[in-house]
Amino acid sequence: MELLNLTLLQLLGAAAGVSAIVVALYFLDRRRRRVTVSSLRFWRDSRMERHPLPQRRIQQPWSLLLVLLGLLALLGALADIRWNVNTFRSLDHVLVLDTSSWMQAREDGVPLMDRAKRLAVRYVRSLPPGDRVLLVMSDANPVPAAAFEEDFGVVEAAIAGAVPGNTALQLGEALGFARQMLEDRDDPGDIVFVGSRWIAEEEIPAITRELPNLRVIPVDAKWRNVYIDKVTLQPRERDAGGWTAHVSVGNRGPAAEVPVQVLFGSAPVTATTLRVPSDAVVTVPLEFRTGAAGWVDVRLDVADMVRRDNVARVEVPRTGGVHVQVCTKTPARFASLFRANPAWIPSYRAESPCPLSADAEVIVLDAVLPATATNRPTLWIQPPADSPFSSRPAELGRRRVSWNAASPISDGLQTSELALDRGSYLTAAEGDQVVAEADGSAIAIARPGNPPQVAWGFQPLLAEMRFEVSTPLLFANTFRWLASSTSVPEELSVGSAGSVLIAGLDGREEEAPVVLDEAGAPVPVSKSTDGWRFFAGRGGVYQMRQGHRERIVSLTLPQPPHSFWEPDPAQMMAGIPAASGAEPPMRWWPWLALFGLLCLVADALLFDRRGQGEAARPVTNPLAAMGAAVRQLFRKEARSRHGL
């Protein structure tokens, strides 16, 4: 019996309190009734007034009895009173069901998840009636699927809906959550784990030894699984269209010869065979070429327990180079610059105004105007008078250029590396970023927007400036900023969901990287001892940026576990006991609630006439009153009581 965690004594006290209040109300509120009559001439009998007033008399004992019975019955219903409750002690259990990535495994065609579900259902059915079960589905995160539920049908339905996730089991978090859930319960029972015991932690969590009520129902299997641990694609330098795929293959089983294939658009482009020892990870580089964008599949040609970790897929962008249209009267100045970088494919036009080519992705206007307004990323070199940038000529006299360190265009440039003889001062508009200044005036401006534009008030390919090492870097930074959407990321990789370490970006630890998911929404990142990390609960493609560096990671592989948990033999359940077969204590609360409501409704019908603003009518006993009430309800034509 429980009501708001009250003991039986406290509950009886509450019932007594309620009864006392009701009786007091009957003494006080119902003691004297105010009624309105047509005339007082028949109420002036002095004997009515001489009658001793019963100060402490309850006027409507039947009404009081009905109200008390109703309230006590409702209180009992709330308290969930049960008979024979002393022979049963209901316990609260937490059932942790392993829904980690490796529960996708199949043995002899049967999914381990189905075996785990059957074991969990058997365990639930073995519990005595009245016990409550909290079902927790756990992979990297424990998620409660059914609160402490007494109806085992609900728990079984929740078990039936369990599906394996994409991350490995964080056993410490799952057991910690279960312990926390039991801490507040009056009758804590067992924490029962059902699963394969492959966990994400490298070391077995200490909590497994701290829980005396931990029971383990293992889902055993003879493990034989080869899996792709990681795939990294890197474009080869100075080889447009060339890629290197670093494939890491792991093995949880006997040593095996593993054929590895790389496919582009479902067509094999390279293949090899690896020998992977037991419990080891082997990495092999595989090279292939493609200039087109498309899907690259890395496939292990093996038949093992987990199929989903045998294929990794990543989308590669087009790598055929960026088309740059250079409008200049002196194309020879640019030839050596573009020849040094095969990723930039130039085309030259000498007309002024310069007609724009339809396939040009970046426009360079060297002191000329375009024939039509440019709608692509544009670099203006010494912009003419009618350009969007206003300028005025200046004699610089080999003044040093001061670069803005916050601008990505000036990344890596030093002030001492560039001195200018002549050029133009530019006027920065609202929203413009000043990239470089000379003598306090802007000589290079970046204008973000669509399309982005950059203006230089000088020509770096003139005179001795072209010999400076900083000039190609300035072009490279500018083109990367202008055509960031067309640039090739430095690395593409395929990994597994879960906690992901962000590595290989800028290396500036103080600056938090930006991680975006497939929908472009930012993903929270946190700093750990080994670097920045983010958590990917579900698979997908994530974009990571830090500074001007960018990486694409496709987290579509199931997260492989790191270690196998061997519990204390005392914690292992040798077998699931049969169902107790005991009858649960009878539940009285629905009948008590119904009875209580009926009592209150009967009191309202028989004794309350508030609709007429009058007091209760006299009733000698409830049965007669009920009969009268029913007659009144169905009477269509009332008759005079004295029939004149």
- The footprint of another protein on this chain (CB under 8 A) covers a number of residues equal to 37
- Cβ proximity to another protein: between 31 and 318 the closer is 31
Nearest to 362 by CA among 319, 389, 408, 322: 322
The least CB distance from residue 19 to another protein, in Å, is 22
Q: Give DSSP secondary structure letters for 430-462.
A: TT-EEEEEETTEEEEEEE-SSS-EEEESS-TTS
The least CB distance from residue 630 to another protein, in Å, is 17
The least CB distance from residue 147 to another protein, in Å, is 52
**How far, rounded to the nearest angstrom, does the alpha carbon of residue 428 sit from its chain's CA centroid?**
43
- Cβ proximity to another protein: between 41 and 222 the closer is 41
The structure tokens listed for 507 are 């290396």
Strands of 549-557's sheet in order across:
281-289, 242-252, 225-235, 491-496, 549-557, 540-546, 514-516, 522-523
Does residue 385 touch another protein according to CB under 8 A?
no
- Cβ proximity to another protein: between 163 and 638 the closer is 638
Pick one of 574, 618, 633, 634: the residue that binds another protein (CB under 8 A): 618
The least CB distance from residue 609 to another protein, in Å, is 8
The least CB distance from residue 607 to another protein, in Å, is 11
The least CB distance from residue 184 to another protein, in Å, is 52
Task: Report the alpha-carbon distance of residue 559 to residue 556 in Å, rounded.
Answer: 9
Query: Using CB under 8 A, which of the segments 286-294, 465-473, 521-529, 607-615 binds another protein?
Result: 607-615
- Cβ proximity to another protein: between 43 and 83 the closer is 43
Gyration radius of the chain over CA positions = 41
The structure tokens listed for 21 are 């209040």
Pick one of 59, 244, 404, 441: the residue that binds another protein (CB under 8 A): 59
Query: Using CB under 8 A, which of the segments 195-203, 387-395, 507-515, 635-643 binds another protein?
Result: 635-643
Pick one of 608, 614, 630, 631: the residue that binds another protein (CB under 8 A): 614
Pick one of 339, 527, 617, 631: the residue that binds another protein (CB under 8 A): 617
Which residue is associated with the tokens 């075996």? 115
Does residue 615 touch another protein according to CB under 8 A?
yes
Task: Report the alpha-carbon distance of residue 282 to residue 229 in Å, rounded.
Answer: 9
Nearest to 556 by CA among 506, 492, 620: 492
Is-contact 98 116, C-beta < 8 A?
A: yes
For another protein, the binding residues in 295-314 under the rule CB under 8 A are none
Is-contact 73 115, C-beta < 8 A?
A: no
- Cβ proximity to another protein: between 238 and 639 the closer is 639
The least CB distance from residue 38 to another protein, in Å, is 4
Pick one of 9, 28, 53, 405: the residue that binds another protein (CB under 8 A): 53
- Cβ proximity to another protein: between 53 and 405 the closer is 53
Nearest to 525 by CA among 509, 502, 506: 502
- Cβ proximity to another protein: between 49 and 237 the closer is 49
Does residue 538 touch another protein according to CB under 8 A?
no
The least CB distance from residue 83 to another protein, in Å, is 40
- Cβ proximity to another protein: between 59 and 571 the closer is 59
Does residue 613 touch another protein according to CB under 8 A?
no
CA torsion angle 399 405 410 414 (round to 10): 50
- Cβ proximity to another protein: between 47 and 398 the closer is 47
Does residue 5 touch another protein according to CB under 8 A?
no
The least CB distance from residue 26 to another protein, in Å, is 11
Task: Report the alpha-carbon distance of residue 516 to residue 237 in Å, rounded.
Answer: 26
**291-to-288, 294, 321, 488, 552 alpha-carbon distances in Å:** 10, 9, 8, 11, 18
Nearest to 299 by CA among 330, 270, 340: 270
**81-to-2, 189, 232, 279, 549 alpha-carbon distances in Å:** 7, 22, 64, 57, 67
**150-to-83, 98, 122, 156 alpha-carbon distances in Å:** 17, 22, 16, 11
Q: How many residues does the chain have?
A: 644
- Give 355's DSSP letter: P
- Cβ proximity to another protein: between 33 and 339 the closer is 33
The least CB distance from residue 623 to another protein, in Å, is 18
The least CB distance from residue 39 to another protein, in Å, is 4
Does residue 638 touch another protein according to CB under 8 A?
yes
Is-contact 87 38, C-beta < 8 A?
A: no
For another protein, the binding residues in 428-457 under the rule CB under 8 A are none
Does residue 639 touch another protein according to CB under 8 A?
yes
- Cβ proximity to another protein: between 9 and 53 the closer is 53
The least CB distance from residue 20 to another protein, in Å, is 22
529 class by beta-carbon count within 10 Å (0-12 exposed, 13-18 middle, 19+ buried): exposed
Nearest to 137 by CA among 160, 115, 106: 160
- Cβ proximity to another protein: between 4 and 53 the closer is 53
- Cβ proximity to another protein: between 57 and 398 the closer is 57
Is-contact 302 258, C-beta < 8 A?
A: yes
Which residue is associated with the tokens 């406290």? 10
The least CB distance from residue 21 to another protein, in Å, is 21
Category of 540 on φ-ψ map: left (φ > 0), alpha (ψ -120 to 50) or beta: left
Does residue 56 touch another protein according to CB under 8 A?
no
Does residue 640 touch another protein according to CB under 8 A?
yes
Q: By rule CB under 8 A, what string of x and - marks binding of each residue 13-52 to another protein?
A: ------------------xxxxxxxxxxxxxxx-xxx-xx
- Cβ proximity to another protein: between 508 and 617 the closer is 617
The least CB distance from residue 127 to another protein, in Å, is 57
Nearest to 343 by CA among 439, 252, 476: 476
The structure tokens listed for 525 are 């990142």
Task: Report the alpha-carbon distance of residue 17 to residue 24 in Å, rounded.
Answer: 10
The least CB distance from residue 604 to another protein, in Å, is 16
Task: Report the alpha-carbon distance of residue 177 to residue 193 in Å, rounded.
Answer: 12
Query: Using CB under 8 A, which of the segments 156-164, 295-303, 346-354, 614-622 binds another protein?
Result: 614-622
- Cβ proximity to another protein: between 60 and 424 the closer is 60
Our CA angle for 527, 557, 226, nearest 5°, is 120
- Cβ proximity to another protein: between 36 and 87 the closer is 36
The least CB distance from residue 32 to another protein, in Å, is 4
Q: Contact positions toward another protein, by CB under 8 A?
A: 31-45, 47-49, 51-54, 59, 609, 612, 614-618, 637-642, 644
